[in-house]
């Protein structure tokens, strides 16, 4: 496609995305469906341009106040990846001069919001948590996330899969913490990779793998993934159970559970039972009360720990939506806790860095449920053969928790707390 036409398509997509009425990945997917003539390279360029503008929105919008043309065209010029000569062939002389001035702007000319590119309420919350590490955290959030895989131990050991992937020409290494993880260099296509097609590996961020390891699901147990989504952690727990026992995958979205089906078929698991529920008080949940050995509540949350992948979330979430989510999280955790038998394990997790969704929910649950005793997260991680477990744990109010940060650990931002229901 001619660069001028490609830039016009970028501007059109940019305008749709910046309405923020739907998740960016859904808007991009719809745009591609409506423009089927776009080839793989054009699609990659459009997607990369949009995500670059979302990551650096405040800075780009500040630059866009000068120059000529529409805001969406200017944002597209600033976010356009790769070959600058290719881009400049689509620009007027005035636009070329404007772009050079933007690229040569020094850090001293930028205000703090233009450097961190976060809404102020979120910048304040993160700065309060990480202090002097704030700039490092911001830099990490503006980087693309690595592509991590989880090895399916039902089928192969990690060393064997590493050898298979390297033989297939992929550069990869073991993940630094998870004993199940492999980190790929770049973003290779996996769809036709034999290791992926035959279920030896699944795409799963290393942090998400650690949540499943905290569950430590055993052979023959009754286990519930209360908010299963597309089932990444469900599959990890099913493999840990060696395809025995009974593993329920609950979710209020049948559509999300549908995404589990092809993954389940590749995995070789037969102990997983997906169940679409109406809400956290569904009758099908009540029938299991007091019968379950382990429950994972990977709660619906702001998703602000995943800004490397979904930078639009920082512009779509607000303090008000976070407060609403915290109420929902508390209700879900309360309902999930009723499933456990005495001695059973409860894991509460989010992919949010915010205390309102994490420590505050955990503290309130602990006060309301004295029958649940906090567990030592570092010891649990060490028992699961997680490397450098002490680097992954934080303490709050006497309860240790898993706390992962992109700039410290190279994972998405994750949080988890663990309890055991006291024996009668």
**CB 219 within 8 Å of CB 244:** yes
- Contact between residue 214 and residue 381 where contact means Cβ atoms under 8 Å apart: yes
State whether residue 367 is helix, strand or coil.
helix
Q: How far is CA 372 from CA 279, 334, 367, 421, 424, in A?
A: 23, 11, 10, 4, 11
Quickly tell me which residue has 């990659």 as its tokens. 44
Considering the candidates 10, 102, 227, 351, report the single residue annotated as catalytic: 351
Q: Are strands 246-251 and 222-225 parallel, antiparallel or unpaired?
A: parallel
Rg of the chain over all Cα atoms, to the nearest angstrom: 23
| DSSP codes, 130-199 | HGGGHHHHHHHHTSPPPEEEEE-TTT--HHHHHHHHHHTT--EEE-SS-TTEEEESS----TT-HHHHTT
* Euclidean distance between CA atoms 383 and 221, whole angstroms: 18
Can you list the positions of beta strands (E) in 252-382?
272-276, 292-298, 340-350, 372-374
Under DSSP, is residue 355 helix (H, G, I), strand (E, B) or coil?
coil
Pairing of strands 181-184, 172-174: antiparallel
> Has 351 been annotated as catalytic?
yes
Three-state DSSP at 422 gives coil
What would the DSSP string read from start to end of 85-107?
Answer: HHHHTTS-HHHHHHHHHHHT--G
Q: Which residues pair with 415 in a beta bridge?
A: 350, 403
- Picking from 13, 26, 30, 51, the residue whose alpha carbon sits closest to that of residue 315 is 51
Q: Which residues contact 60 (CB under 8 A, 6 or more apart)?
A: 53, 74, 75, 78, 79
Surface-to-core class of residue 208, CB atoms within 10 Å of its CB (0-12 exposed, 13-18 middle, 19+ buried): buried
> Which residues have C-beta within 8 Å of that of residue 97, sequence separation ≥ 6?
none
Residue 272 CB-half CA count within 13 A: 29
Enzyme catalytic residues:
351
């Amino acid at each position: 496609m001619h660069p001028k036409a490609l830039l016009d398509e970028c501007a059109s997509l940019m305008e749709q995305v910046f309405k923020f009425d739907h998740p960016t990945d859904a808007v991009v997917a719809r745009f591609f469906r409506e423009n089927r003539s776009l080839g793989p390279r054009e699609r990659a360029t459009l997607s990369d341009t949009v995500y670059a503008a979302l990551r650096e929105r405040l800075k780009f919008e500040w630059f866009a106040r000068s120059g000529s043309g529409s805001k969406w065209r200017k944002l597209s010029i600033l976010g356009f990846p790769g070959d600058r000569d290719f881009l400049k062939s689509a620009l007027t002389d005035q636009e070329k001069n404007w772009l050079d001035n933007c690229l040569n702007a020094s850090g001293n000319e930028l205000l703090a919001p233009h450097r961190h590119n976060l809404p102020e309420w979120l910048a304040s919350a993160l700065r309060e948590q990480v202090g002097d590490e704030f700039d490092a955290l911001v830099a990490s959030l503006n980087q693309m996330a690595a592509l991590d895989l989880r090895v399916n131990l039902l089928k192969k050991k990690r060393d064997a899969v590493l050898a298979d992937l390297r033989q297939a020409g992929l550069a990869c290494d073991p993940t630094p913490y998870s004993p199940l993880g492999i980190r790929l260099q770049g973003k290779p296509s996996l769809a036709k990779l034999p290791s992926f097609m035959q279920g030896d590996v699944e795409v799963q961020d290393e942090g998400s793998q650690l949540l499943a390891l905290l569950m430590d699901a055993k052979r023959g147990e009754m286990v519930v993934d209360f908010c299963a989504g597309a089932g990444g952690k469900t599959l990890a727990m099913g493999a840990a159970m060696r395809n025995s026992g009974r593993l329920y995958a609950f979710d209020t979205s049948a559509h999300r559970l549908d995404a589990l089906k092809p993954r389940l078929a590749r995995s070789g698991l037969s102990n997983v039972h997906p169940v679409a529920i109406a809400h956290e008080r569904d009758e099908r949940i009540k029938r299991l009360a007091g019968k379950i050995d382990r429950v994972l509540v990977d709660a619906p949350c702001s998703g602000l720990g995943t800004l490397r992948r979904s930078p639009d979330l920082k512009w779509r979430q607000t303090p008000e939506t976070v407060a609403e989510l915290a109420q929902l999280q508390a209700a879900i955790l309360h309902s999930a806790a009723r499933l456990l038998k005495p001695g059973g394990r409860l894991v509460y997790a989010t992919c949010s860095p915010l205390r309102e969704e994490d420590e505050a929910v955990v503290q309130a649950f602990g006060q309301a449920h004295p029958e649940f005793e906090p567990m030592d997260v570092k010891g649990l991680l060490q028992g699961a053969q997680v490397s450098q477990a002490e680097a992954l744990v934080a303490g709050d109010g006497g309860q240790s928790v898993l706390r992962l940060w992109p700039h410290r650990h190279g994972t998405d931002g994750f949080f988890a707390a663990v309890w055991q229901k006291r024996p009668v």
